[in-house]
């Protein structure tokens, strides 16, 4: 039986952390729903983790998520669900702290890869986003340790400018006319139903991306490069870290939505 592709709520709203959904299939120890806010991984960003809570109150840990070639997103459960859960209503909740950390690193990559390409002609060849630090590989001819401080300053200047992010989709045909939206030569752009999602940092950059981001560059934190490895003459591996910005507290004492 062919299952319908899962509706990906995180594509419409990067800050969708929970939703109601219906179980449409159970396979091995994984469930598929009609819709989800869980990011299934891709572009160097690992999949979300979180909880699925049934109306009975039973909660199931979702340890990992992946999308199959038909666009069905499978949520791997710590305990195999019974096949008769198909049709059940659940509340899905992403591990919010973890997702926000990954989104902060994901967002700074847009800033870094744009500066690398525009100012230094460097293309990204690989990314591994983490919660505590991230690793980014570039083909970066002429990169030297002495450049590190200048690159950090350029990235932090963009973050400090507090630019908003937004996303929209364009047709695959329109995308082919827009080489400026590419930041990598080696990964296929995320084409979903004949469209490509574009993520824009207002007044700075637009690039094809299917990941999750923070809403303003000021939410990223302070950027630094703490290690550089040479992986050949022009292949460089940069390890980067973010320090959280100071927690903002509203007059009511409530924490800012994202911190």
Q: Name the helix (H) or strand (E) containing 24.
A: strand 18-27
Q: Is 168 exposed, middle or buried (0-12, 13-18, 19+ CB in 10 A)?
A: exposed
Which listed range, 173-181, 193-201, 219-227, 243-251, lies at the site for Zn ion (CB under 5 A)? 193-201
Q: Is 44 in the site for Zn ion (CB under 5 A)?
A: no
Q: How far apart are CA 34 and CA 18, in angstroms?
A: 14
Q: How far apart are CA 18 and CA 103, in angstroms?
A: 16
Which listed range, 33-41, 198-206, 228-236, 251-259, lies at the site for Zn ion (CB under 5 A)? 198-206
| Options 73, 88, 209, 242; binder of Zn ion; rule CB under 5 A | 209
Closest separation between CB of residue 249 and Zn ion, Å? 29
| Under 8 Å between Cβ of 198 and 96 | no
Q: Is 220 in the site for Zn ion (CB under 5 A)?
A: no
Q: Is 189 in the site for Zn ion (CB under 5 A)?
A: no
Which listed range, 59-67, 94-102, 159-167, 203-211, lies at the site for Zn ion (CB under 5 A)? 203-211
Q: Is 100 exposed, middle or buried (0-12, 13-18, 19+ CB in 10 A)?
A: buried
In the complex with Zn ion, which residue's Cβ is closer, 90 or 199? 199
Site string for Zn ion, 85-124 (x = CB under 5 A): ----------------------------------------
Q: Is 60 in the site for Zn ion (CB under 5 A)?
A: no
Question: Going by C-beta distance under 8 Å and a sequence separation of 6 or more, which residues neighbour residue 237?
Answer: 135, 136, 137, 228, 229, 230, 231
DSSP string, 105-141: HHHHHHHHHHHHHHHH--EEEEEE--SS-EEEEEE-T
Which listed range, 27-35, 71-79, 97-105, 206-214, lies at the site for Zn ion (CB under 5 A)? 206-214
Q: Which SS3 state, helix, strand or coil, does residue 82 take?
A: coil
In the complex with Zn ion, which residue's Cβ is closer, 21 or 209? 209
| Options 44, 47, 189, 211; binder of Zn ion; rule CB under 5 A | 211
| Under 8 Å between Cβ of 21 and 33 | yes
In the complex with Zn ion, which residue's Cβ is closer, 108 or 151? 108
Q: Is 151 in the site for Zn ion (CB under 5 A)?
A: no
Closest separation between CB of residue 83 and Zn ion, Å? 36
In the complex with Zn ion, which residue's Cβ is closer, 31 or 209? 209
- In this structure, are strands 89-94 and 35-36 parallel, antiparallel, or unpaired? unpaired
Closest separation between CB of residue 55 and Zn ion, Å? 35
Where on the chain is the footprint of Zn ion (CB under 5 A)?
199, 209, 211
């Amino acid at each position: 039986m062919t299952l319908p592709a899962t509706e990906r709520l995180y594509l419409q709203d990067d800050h969708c952390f929970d939703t109601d959904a219906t179980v449409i299939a159970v396979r091995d120890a994984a469930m598929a729903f009609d819709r989800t806010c869980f990011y299934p991984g891709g572009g160097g960003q690992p999949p979300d983790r979180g909880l699925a809570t049934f109306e009975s109150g039973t909660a199931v840990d979702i340890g990992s998520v992946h999308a199959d070639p038909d666009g069905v997103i499978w949520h791997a459960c710590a305990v195999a669900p019974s096949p008769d859960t198909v049709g059940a209503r659940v509340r899905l909740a992403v591990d919010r702290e973890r997702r926000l950390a990954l989104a902060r690193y994901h967002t700074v990559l847009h800033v870094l890869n744009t500066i690398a390409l525009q100012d230094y002609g460097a293309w990204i060849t690989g990314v591994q986003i983490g919660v505590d630090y991230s690793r980014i590989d570039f083909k970066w001819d002429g990169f030297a340790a002495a450049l590190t401080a200048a690159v950090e300053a350029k990235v932090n200047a963009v973050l400090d400018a507090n630019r908003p992010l937004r996303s929209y989709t364009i047709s695959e045909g329109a995308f082919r006319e827009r080489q400026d939206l590419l930041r990598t030569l080696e990964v296929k752009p995320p084409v979903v139903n004949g469209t490509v999602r574009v993520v824009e940092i207002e007044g700075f950059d637009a690039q094809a991306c299917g990941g999750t981001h923070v809403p303003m560059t000021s939410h990223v934190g302070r950027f630094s490069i703490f290690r550089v490895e040479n992986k050949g003459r022009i292949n460089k591996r940069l390890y980067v870290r973010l320090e959280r910005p100071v927690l903002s507290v509203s007059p009511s004492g409530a924490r800012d939505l994202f911190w």
